[in-house]
Amino acid sequence: MADRFDVRRQTGFASMAMLCFFLLYLPIATLVVYAFNDNESLAIWKGFSLRWFHAAWNNSLVIESSIRSFEIAAIAAILATISATMAALATTRTKPYRGLTFKYAFINQPLMVPEIVTAVALLIVFSRIKIWTGYSGLGYLILAHTAFCVPFAYLPIRARLESMDLSLETAAADLYATKWQTFRHVTLPLLWPGILAGLMLAFVVSLDDVVITEFVKSGGQDTLPTFMLGQIRRGVTPEINAISTVFLALSIGIVTAFFFISRKRT
């Protein structure tokens, strides 16, 4: 008998894998390296320097848009996670009924509808509301971000709820816990890693968004990604690299933090 089929032993597997990783990570590596370039040019290496980080730090527009990004992402992620948790509870702690699958699709709609369509739709609706109410604050962006973040928060929470042993909730009810107490003392603590995962996913997705933000934002409401987009139109300096590098470091930080939190909990 021949050995079991092992894809790693196929001809060309290693080189193919290397190529994929190369294509994935080389641009990012280049971006990070050139963030430390002591030159106006993106392409010509002159020497190591932190000047572009200083430049970004001293650029009040960068700082302003970063703060705005985090503000929107934080509020939107929290709102999306709360709605997603309730949606997940409503769709798992119930007897299956006709239309439940439709409801899943409905909740996950932002994953399926092209973002540009949502963006245009929101632009039209919000511009009307802006005229009616006269309000043109960050609320629109937060609302829009909350809406498209819901499915990202919903999926890990639902997965966690579905894998939970239902007899635990039955046992809590048997031990005199009301519905609320059961949720508070049994369901919620066990659901917590799922909620955290959903929250972080929603946060990162919101932080990263360009298309919807670009359409919905009013004047002077640039987030970091839309600010960077605007900068690139005017010619790129390694300042963009420096900002991206910080962004990358933050994302990795969040994901790593989540990994350790979730591992500790389970």
Partner 1 sequence: MTAIRPAVEAKGVSRIFQGAGQDAVRALDSVSVSIRENEFFTLLGPSGCGKTTLLRLIAGFDYPTDGEILLHGQDIAPLPPFKRPVNTVFQSYALFPHMTVAENIGFGLKMLGKPKAEIAARVDAMLKLVHMQEQRNRRTSQISGGQQQRVALARALAPQPKVLLLDEPLSALDYKLRKEMQIELKRLQHETGITFIFVTHDQEEALTMSDRIAVMSSGNILQVGTPWDVYDRPAERFVADFIGETNFLTGTIESAGNGHARIVLSSGARVYAAAAKDFQPGSTATLMVRPEHAKLVKGAGDLAGTIETIVYFGTDTHIHVRLDGGEAFIVRQQNSRCASCGFERGDKVGISIGDEVAQLLKD
Nearer to partner 1, 186 or 200 (CB): 186
Name the packing angle between helices 224-233 and 238-265 (round to 10°): 160
Phi, psi of 3 (to 5 degrees): -65, 160
Of residues 73 and 172, the one with the C-beta less far from partner 1: 172
Partnered with residue 58 across adjacent β-strands are none
Two tokens at 121?
């739709």
Minimum Å distance from CB 165 to partner 1? 7
The Cα–Cα gap between 115 and 226 comes to 15
Q: Which is nearer to partner 1, 103 or 265 (CB)?
A: 265
Q: Is the Cβ of residue 41 or residue 170 nearer to partner 1 in the bound state?
A: 170
For partner 1, which is the closer residue by CB, 30 or 181?
Answer: 181
Distance in Å, CB of 157 to partner 1, minimum: 17
Minimum distance between the CB of residue 202 and partner 1, rounded to whole angstroms? Answer: 24
In 3D space, the residue among 99, 95, 111, 193 whose CA is nearest the CA of residue 150 turns out to be 111
Contact residues: partner 1, CB under 8 A: 165, 167-168, 170-178, 181, 185-186, 189-190
- Compute the least distance from the CB of residue 125 to partner 1, in Å: 42
| C-alpha–C-alpha distance, residues 131 and 105, integer Å | 32
CB of 38 to partner 1, least distance (A): 53
State the Cα–Cα distance between residues 121 and 89, nearest whole angstrom: 29
Q: Which amino acid is at 96?
A: P
d(CA 31, CA 41): 12
